[in-house]
Structure 1
Amino acid sequence: MSKVVLITGGSSGIGKAIGEYLQSKGFVVYGTSRNPSLYKDSKIPLVALDVTQPETITTCINSVLKETSKIDVLINNAGAGITGPIEEIPEEEMKRNFETNFFGPINVIKAILPSMRNHGSGLVINITSIAGYMGLPYRGIYSASKGALELITEAFRMELKAFNIDMVNVAPGDFATNIAAGRYHAPVKDNSPYKEQYGKSLDMMDAHVDEGNDPLEMAKSILKIINTRNPKIHYKVGAFMQKFSIVLKRILPDKVYEKLLMNHYKI
């Protein structure tokens, strides 16, 4: 019987690319969207789910299980970007980002674990970000939420070993998706002391996404992980220099690495 895969945030971008690719390889794939009716041309079935609304998580998982009796792989892909000077980002926007990028994935995992335990196996793939390995200027909240998900996966994995349930992180770099359009941007204020630096950094971040790799690269990496008997804990997918930046952070003195980031963002 084909493996059943549930992908949160499967209506566009990386999630859509992963879903369509896995379906073409014979997997039974379900994606999720806060409003599936907006994506009537979706090549994979979409189930309503908002990771910030626990009742929709339960309804979604129960609906898929009713049709398939199992979910072999959960891909926690739904997420949200956020940019701005930390001093100027409203607290409610910070909390909303953590609700989506951190608490949301945890709640989906918690809801799906009983069925995986009953089935005797399972794989959870958390899509994080290379930005989660470092505190990036004007992306600090995003870095923090994705970094938190990276760390909690390490703890979660050990707690799930006894149940034959595996969990991994996949940290993408910049990919050509619509994430820039959907993320929260703190406004560039005329009277802000960060106006010049933040404005330049925002233009650079948007350009990086526009020039990013094809999301199909992520989809192929996900397939390899699913087919790996004993997967690693952390994976990085993206341009060489973005992945290499994590290596540099490990080996360089903190202030040298900080200087490299500041030079890169021209601040």
Structure 2
Amino acid sequence: MEQKVVLITGGSSGIGKSIGNLLKSKGFKVYGTTRNLAKYPDFSDFDLLELDVRNTSTIAKAVSQLIEKEGRLDVLVNNAGVGITGPIEETPHEEILKTFETNFHGPLHMIKAVLPQMRKQGDGLIINITSIAGYMGLPYRGIYSATKGALEVTTEALRMETRNFGIRMTNLAPGDFATNIASGRYHAPVLKGSPYEDAYGKTLQSINDDVSSGNNPIQVAEKVYRIINTKNPKVHYKVGSFMQKFSIFLKRTLPDKAYEKLLLNHYKL
């Protein structure tokens, strides 16, 4: 059987690196991406390509290099993403736009870049890594939720638009996993004297605690592997703790205000 070729954005650390290592161990030819290849001179887990999902010229160059070398691309895992926290009123709008550029526009740029090759092959799989946070508007994480929710819904449309080409597409929404996302996240500062000072300060600490005590990202990698081996993937997958996944069920079944009250209680707001 021909070795499947996989491209993972944001593959140099965290969830992306876990996915890459697992798939390589399963016999896949794995390429990861990083914005700055020079930062990883000793990276040897799998091949790394320099690519910034916000820069279409770097995307075109990396995808072209991969296809020229391998002759095909079987799986794209849109994993690259950034976090953002803060009261929406006090979050600089340029930071909001940057987050959408990476978390929403970035995956779309990647999808557009690989679709011609997958269509030519008559086969391909695209897995968009979203977030359980994308199913609900979370206080002080509203912009992050919006970027991931937008990708979830856009994937639903793209699945229908590309299905006749033999291309499969799905969303995988993780909950909180122990990665370095908190260190790279944009935090709107807790401003002294701000009307949000107390509530945002407490919520920010809670968010960071959830990430640092999160599950092992290998669970996301294992889910990706199972999806790749599924003939007809579902529209949506979730991976996380029982309560994180259960929160989506509650969102769908409870009256809006009842669910809102649950969130307010959870964040002690």
After TM superposition, the score normalised by the length of structure 2 is 0.98
2:100 corresponds in structure 1 to 98
What is the aligned partner in structure 2 of residue 24 from structure 1?
Answer: 25
Q: Look up the match of 1:184.
A: 186
Which digits, 9 at most, give the CA deviation of each residue in 1:165-199, with x for residues without a partner? 01000000000000000010000000210000000
Q: Separation in 2 of the partners of 1:122 and 1:194? A: 46
Q: Aligned match of 1:83 in 82, 85, 89?
A: 85
Q: State the match for 1:36 in structure 2.
A: 37
Residue-by-residue CA offset, 1:214-246 (whole Å, 9 max, x unaligned):
000011100000000011010000000000000
Deviation at 1:78, TM superposition (A): 0.2
Provide the C-alpha distance between the structure 2 equivalents of 1:256 and 1:72, rounded to a whole number of angstroms: 44
Show CA shifts across 1:85-106 (max 9, x none).
0000011111110000001100
Partner of 1:61: 63
Provide the C-alpha distance between the structure 1 equivalents of 2:38 and 2:242, rounded to a whole number of angstroms: 38
Alignment match of 1:230 (pick from 232, 242, 248)? 232
Please state how far the C-alpha of 1:36 moved relative to its aligned partner.
1.8
Give 1:22 shift. Answer: 0.2
Q: Which consecutive residues of structure 2, in runs of 5 or more, have no partner in the other structure?
A: none
CA distance in 2 between counterparts of 1:2 and 1:48 reads: 23
* Alignment-mate amino acid for residue 91 of structure 2: I
- 2:129 matched residue in structure 1: 127
In the alignment, residue 202 of structure 2 is paired with which amino acid? K
Superposition pairs of residues 92-171 of structure 1, within 5 angstroms: 92-171=94-173
Is 1:14–2:15 an aligned residue pair? yes
Identity percentage over the alignment? 63
**Alpha-carbon shift at residue 40 of structure 1 (Å):** 2.7
Secondary structure of the residue aligned to 2:140 is coil
Query: Which runs of structure 1 show a deviation greater than 6 angstroms over 4 or more consecutive aligned residues?
Result: none
Residue 66 of structure 1, CA deviation = 1.1
Match of 1:240 in 2: 242
Q: Within 2, Cα distance between the matches of 1:254 and 1:149? A: 22
What one-letter code is carried by the residue in structure 2 that aligns with 1:39?
A: Y
Moved more, 39-48 or 49-58: 39-48
The CA distance in 2 between the partners of 1:5 and 1:116, in whole Å, is: 12
Partner AA of 1:152 in structure 2: T
Query: 2:139 aligns to what SS in structure 1?
Result: coil
In the TM superposition, residue 41 of structure 1 has moved relative to its aligned partner by 3.2
Q: For 1:47 and 1:234, how far apart are their aligned partners in 2? A: 28
Task: Give the secondary-structure state (helix, strand or coil) at the position aligned to 2:194.
Answer: coil
Amino acid at match of 1:12: S
- Map of 1:205 onto structure 2: 207
1:73 to 75, 85, 95: 75
Structure 1 vs Structure 2 CA RMSD: 0.6
Distance 1:120 1:242 in 2: 36
Q: 2:50 aligns with which of 48, 51, 57?
A: 48
Q: Deviations over 1:138-185 (max 9, x none)?
A: 000000000000000000000001100010000000000000000100
Letter in 1 for 2:34: S
5+ residue gaps, structure 1, are none
TM-superposed deviation, 1:124: 0.3
Distance 1:201 1:36 in 2: 35
In 1, the alpha carbon distance for the partners of 2:189 and 2:54 equals 24
Distance 2:135 2:37 in 1: 32
Secondary structure of residue in 2 paired with 1:258 = helix
**Could you tell me the TM-score, scaled by structure 1's length?**
0.99
CA distance in 1, matches of 2:103, 2:219: 22
For 1:150 and 1:19, how far apart are their aligned partners in 2? Answer: 22
Distance in structure 2 (CA, Å) of the matches to 1:64 and 1:197:
47
SS at match of 1:138: coil
